[in-house]
Amino acid sequence: MLDVWNGLAAAFWLVVRLDPDLIEITLRSLQVTLTALVIASLIALPLAALLAVRRFRWRRAVIAVLNALMGLPPVVVGLVVYILLSRSGPFGVFGLLFTPTAMIIAQVIIIVPLIASIAHQSLRELWTDYHDLLISLNVTQRQKMQTLLWDARRALLTAALAGFGRAIGEVGAIMIVGGNIDHVTRVLTTAIALETGRGDFALALGLGFVLIALAVTVNLVIHGLGRTEREGRW
């Protein structure tokens, strides 16, 4: 119990003092995860729309693989990305290992299947609703996808939030490919792991509370945006 209170106190002081290290780590967490989220959404949402409207030979297989990949163990993703980016790997020449870019790559791989699967569910449902009308109106494949993505945007926001939640709290993969280097690749989750290992539970807990607060805030802000828009339009 004492640890929890110490943790709260530590977190409180870290925030109140605007601890430069804490701010740096938090901003890096946000930067890595939000970048990964944007990239992953740009890949996953059109993919989900395509899977919803287009019948091609491997559609079912792709969907099954996506669903399976949702449960991909992050540590394994980290390992694979590590091997690919390491000096002797195929992408070694770019020197990306132990940079925030490597962490972004790992997170994108982890959340694309998650976002695509959730998005596909709701787009599929919408497509059954819209099918007759859109076919009758002779829409092109592209217009079909645009219509679905636009009209399902609130459900897609939820999909993106799920991706954000998974990415911001992820530690296994980014620890491996980022290396948790102070002032370079240290983020909230890897810092927590480090402080826990060192036995500094108070600081670890403090960082943990900041992480939770961050996740909740981002969720609230995005939901808030969605709501304002809904009231404006509907």
Partner 1 sequence: MSALLPLTVTGAEARRRGKTLVGPVDLTMDGPGTTVVIGPNGSGKTTLLSLLHGTARLSRGTITWNCPLEQARAAQAFVFQRPVMLRRNVRDNIAYPLQLRGTRRPEARAQADQWAERIGLGDMLDRSAGALSGGEQQKLALARALILKPELLFLDEPCAALDGRSMREIETILANAKAEGTKLVLATHDMGQARRMADDVLFLLHGRVHEARPAPEFFAGPDTAEARAFLKGDIVE
Which residues of this chain interact with partner 1, rule CB under 8 A?
126, 129-130, 132-133, 135-139, 143, 147, 151-152, 233-234
Give the integer Cα–Cα distance in Å for 12 and 65. Answer: 44
Question: For residue 101, which of 31, 15, 49 has the smallest C-alpha distance?
Answer: 31
Q: Report in angstroms how near the CB of residue 130 gets to partner 1 at its nearest.
A: 6
**Rounded to whole angstroms, how far apart are CA atoms 144 and 49?**
9
| Encoded tokens for 224 | 């808030």
Is the CB of 98 or the CB of 130 nearer to partner 1?
A: 130
- State which residue, 199 or 232, has the beta carbon closest to partner 1: 232
Give the residue from 113, 112, 222, 103 showing the smallest Cα distance to 161.
222
Q: Do 80 and 110 contact (CB within 8 A), yes or no?
A: no
CB of 59 to partner 1, least distance (A): 19
**Which is nearer to partner 1, 112 or 118 (by Cβ)?**
118
- Could you tell me the smallest distance in angstroms from the CB atom of residue 25 to partner 1? 41
Q: Which is nearer to partner 1, 151 or 200 (CB)?
A: 151
AA identity, residue 19 = D
| Smallest gap from residue 118 Cβ to partner 1 (A) | 18
Q: H helices of the chain, where?
A: 2-16, 20-53, 59-69, 74-85, 100-136, 141-151, 153-168, 172-178, 188-198, 201-233
CB of 137 to partner 1, least distance (A): 6
Which is nearer to partner 1, 107 or 147 (by Cβ)?
Answer: 147
Would you say 21 or 229 has its CB closer to partner 1? 229
174 C-beta neighbours (distance < 10 Å), count: 32
Q: How far is the CB of 151 from partner 1 (least distance, A)?
A: 5
Is residue 173 a contact partner of residue 75, using CB atoms and an 8 Å limit? yes
